[in-house]
Structure 1
Amino acid sequence: EEARLSAQGVLLGWPEAEGVVCDIGGNSMELAVVSGGKVGRRVSSPLGPFRLQQIKGGTKGILRFIRKVMKSLAADIGTGHDRIYLVGGSWRAIARLDMERRAYPMTVLHEYRMEPAALLETIDWIGKSDLAALRAKTGTSAARMELVPLASLVLRQLVETFAPKEIDVSSYGIREGLLYEQMPERLRMRDPLIEACRYAEKTTARMPGFGKKLFGFLKPLYADATPERLRMVKAACLLHDTTWRAHPDYRAEVCFDNATRANLGGLSHTERVFLGLSLLHRYKNSRAGSRLEPLFALLSDQQINEAEVLGKAMRFGAMFSIKSPEEAGALIWSPDRKDLTLELSPDTKPLFGEVAQARFKSLADSLAATATVRIAEPA
């Protein structure tokens, strides 16, 4: 039952999750296979740290017990799974230590992704380190840190037995699984990121509903974009005005902080930073000298440029028309010719003032394109 609920919690944040959910508690460890939005085979084991403390024979005895149980688990659910999703406080503590060892610039644990080889290095590092010092650095409680060495032994054997390509941390577990159980199927399959952004816009933006119009206005810039990129563009448009209450001097950084630290599902760390950086550029032309620069390292140069383009596109579109930018004009993007054209409706021409021109040119510059403005023929 716990395995099923934990797996459903993972599906709440990752509807597309494929692999094995591993939930560790004090006395047990549960495994459940997830695929196609469904929970499949599941099994419970006595591999919780409290239970392992009762095993006789010291570390060698504990390791023999772990290997024996893990072999049985592998026989029950198979080993051909690319991903393992970790649920539980002991796993999160180890993931936080992995961040510390790697000097990772973000401390959000949800959707933190680890490669097997690097995780095994961290487990070795934990075994050689002063746990009290690590606890002080990471803010881990004494009670939790006390269980980390035993949990590390289990995690090492889990990785070596199942040989996943990637290990992901989920902050969603049994509680979220109970919520998932009450949701109708149509709601379960909705995108958790877009739903969260819609709710944020509805409750905090000045003009709820404008994000959808802004997205429609900017779509010509993304005619060849992947579904994943369009998803980020849509999320950014929905969030573009949700921090308007912040002081103008800090609004850009508040946008970034909200995106990178908010309790959002369906969002990798790279996507968090991309979304945050695009929202930063929604309010600010330059990111130079920002205290947030260490986080930019999670993005490639191309991703940084794409986030800047999106931010400047929102910056222009949001002030171009406060009612319906698609009715006021249309963007025409020719990537081969590097030409960005704004076709204004006749009624909009008098409103296309100096600030709008400057923001449109800034958008074109971020695309390394020529900016062209023309008036549409009257209908």
Structure 2
Amino acid sequence: MDGDNQPSVSDWGPFGRPLFDNPEARALSRVGVVDVGSNSVRLVVFDGAARSPAYFYNEKIMCGLGAGLSETGRLNPEGRKRALAAIHRFQLLAQGMDATPLSAVATAAVRDAEDGPDFAAQVERQTGLRLHVIDGQEEARLSAQGVLLGWPGSYGLVCDIGGSSMELARINDGRVGDRETSPLGPLKLADVKGGKKGRRAYIKAEIDTLTETIPADRNRLFLVGGSWRAIARIDMERRGYPLHVLHEYRMTAKTVRDTVAWIAKQDPEALRKRCSLSSTRMGLVPMASEVLLELVKRYKPHDIAVSSYGIREGLLYEQMPQHLRDRDPLIESCRFAEQKDARLPGFGRTLYTFIQPLFKSAKPERLRLVKAACLLHDVTWRAHPDYRAEVCFDNATRANLGGLKHAERVFLGLALLHRYRNRREGTAFEELYGLLTEEEQQQAEILGKAMRFGAMLWPERDGEIGELRWFPKKKVLELKMAEAHWPLFGEVAEARFRSLASSLKAEVSLKLGPSRS
């Protein structure tokens, strides 16, 4: 037992103790953050398992505080009024949500404007909220920490583009290293003289300066910021990509070049509507595209990943002690979902132990998905039985889960779909199956059918439900159960067991005897 009278991590086996049972995590259960940017002002209230928080509330107002700043040196007057009204609203909302005191940061526009200090003082005077005006390097650090919230232990380059600035930060082994800022935000670029040719020379010169501090190393590039996400959404449209989840969406240098060229040939208004982008955001895409082209050309990343996590998530990460940061965001989120929604919280761990022999040769990244599936196997039981499988799939593929590649989302969703039905054909999600290989689809089916069978043997949360043994060379699937539990193996359970064996192309063996000690 450790200090808060909970079992130690080792007592929970491969899962570790649930993070949300820890008082340090509960203290982070509802955290409100206000981000006053050059283009937008946003309130996010995080709730739930602190390592992979749910977005309890999320509202953005496009204020354009930094519009015209390069010419006037001052905040946009209309944007200032809109931002003040938004912050006042956010402060009142946070009080009603029990999410105060809010953490509030202001970035490039407020720090660069000559009337920035006056605006911050007005905000505090009229709303009671203190704005922390951070410099570019601190902005880069917080954005990089936001990426680490979703990808523990990641490495590469984090690039966060706002309205008036663009920040770079190196991350390696879960730590933030060198970082730098530049005036490469689209609102700033709009004021550069000389049209497209002038902007291109300006962008090139600024990236030259950035590479002196942060040289290219051809690692992964993480893209943070609304303009990058807009470009990624357009890339999805061009490619006909089936899963419209921006977080962890992947691009390459070639797809970026192809998409930027494609954007130039489209009608902007028609493209905006097809991609569900705001007029304000769409207006920034051409200049952001010019920056991205040069960035990719100079840094030559082997892989480009879009992150929905940034400075706001970085502020939450800032409040976590290191031992919480080191936890797996996917497993913590699934544990929280099980605790909140499953009929028998804790049974997921028992189920995992039961079906694990089927995955003895699986790599750690696959076992991680098996754990997650077991934790989520029963959280949608309230859905109508006719739609439960589809609800499972939709929840896994589109939910706010950190630390999941798109193919892993589909694998998890397909496994949970098979938890409730034998066949995957005939659903509305078949176009997503193509993100997996045939072998991966088969493995997801085996996992789902194993959970479907194991859920029938449900005597108690922490009790043993029997023992599965898998002999892949002999193609034999064996079930051993104690005599006291044998009545649980009724005709429906037997049908599900044989269905699992069929997916494994195996013969079955049934044995009566003591369960595994």
Name the TM-score, length of structure 2 as normaliser.
Answer: 0.72
Q: Does 1:142 align with 2:279?
A: yes
Q: Does 1:7 align with 2:174?
A: no
CA contact (8 A) 1:105 1:294 kept: yes
Match of 1:213 among 350, 364, 368: 350
Give the corresponding residue for 2:89: none
Question: Separation in 2 of the partners of 1:316 and 1:67?
Answer: 60
2:455 is equivalent to residue 315 of structure 1 = no
Partner Cα distance (2:325, 2:486) in 1: 45
Q: How far apart in 1 are the matches of 2:302 and 2:422?
A: 39
In structure 1, the residue matched to 2:49 is: none
| Matched residue count | 379
Code of the aligned partner of 1:19? G
Check if 1:92 corresponds to 2:229: yes
Among candidates 328, 334, 342, match of residue 197 of structure 1: 334
| Cα offset, 1:350, TM superposition | 2.7
Matched, 1:238 2:238: no
For 1:320 and 1:363, how far apart are their aligned partners in 2?
A: 15
Letter paired with 1:372: S
* C-alpha distance in 2 between matches for 1:67 and 1:103: 32
**Local SS of the residue matching 2:287:** helix
Give the residue type in structure 2 aligned to 1:360: F
Residue identity matched to 1:320: L
Q: Which residue pairs with 1:346 in the alignment?
A: 483
The superposition leaves residues 300-330 of structure 1 with CA deviations (integer Å, 9 ceiling, x where unpaired) of 1001000000000000001122425862310
Provide, for residues 194-251 of structure 1, a one-character-per-residue CA deviation record: whole Å limited to 9, x for no partner: 0000000001111110001100111111111100010000000000000010000000
Gap runs ≥5 in structure 1: none
Checking the alignment, whether the CA contact within 8 Å between 1:217 and 1:325 is kept in structure 2 is no
Farther off after superposition, 111-120 or 156-165 = 111-120
How do 1:228-377 residues align onto structure 2 when only pairs under 5 Å count? 228-323=365-460, 327-376=464-513
Q: Distance in 1 between matches of 2:335 and 2:506?
A: 32
The farther-off stretch of 73-82 and 316-325 is 316-325
Deviations 1:132-169 (A, max 9, x none): 11101011000000000000000000000000011000
1:214, 1:325 within 8 Å by CA — same for their partners in 2? no
Contact 2:344–2:461 (8 Å) recurs in 1: no
Corresponding residue of 2:294:
157
Q: 2:204 matched to which residue of 1? A: 67
Deviation string for 1:258-281 (max 9, x for gaps)? 001101100010000000000000
State the partner residue of 1:43.
180
Instruction: Give TM-score scaled by structure 1 length.
Output: 0.98
Residue aligned with 2:181, SS: strand
Q: Structure 2 regions of 5+ residues with no counterpart?
A: 1-137
Alignment counterpart, residue 115 of structure 1, candidates 252, 262, 268: 252
- RCO higher in structure (CA 8 A, sep ≥6): 1
The Cα shift of 1:37 comes to: 0.8
Q: Distance in 2 between matches of 1:25 and 1:45?
A: 11
Q: Is the 8 A contact 1:3 1:44 kept in 2?
A: yes
SS of alignment partner, residue 20 of structure 1: strand
Are 2:141 and 2:176, in contact at CA under 8 Å, matched by a contact in 1? yes
Which entry has the higher C-alpha Rg, 1 or 2?
Answer: 2
* Partners of 2:161 and 2:224 within 8 A in 1: yes
The CA distance in 2 between the partners of 1:351 and 1:218, in whole Å, is 17
Distance 1:325 1:333, change over 3 A: farther
Q: Which has the higher helix share?
A: 1
Q: Secondary structure at the match of 1:195?
A: helix
Deviates more, 1:111-120 or 1:17-26: 111-120
Q: Which residue identity lines up with residue 8 of structure 1 in the other structure?
A: Q
Q: How much does 1:348 deviate?
A: 1.9
Identify which of 79, 82, 87 aligns with 2:219.
82
C-alpha displacement of 1:81: 3.6
8 A contact 1:317–1:325 mirrored in 2: no
RMSD: 1.2
1:168 match: 305
Percent identity reads 60
- Partner AA of 1:346 in structure 2: E
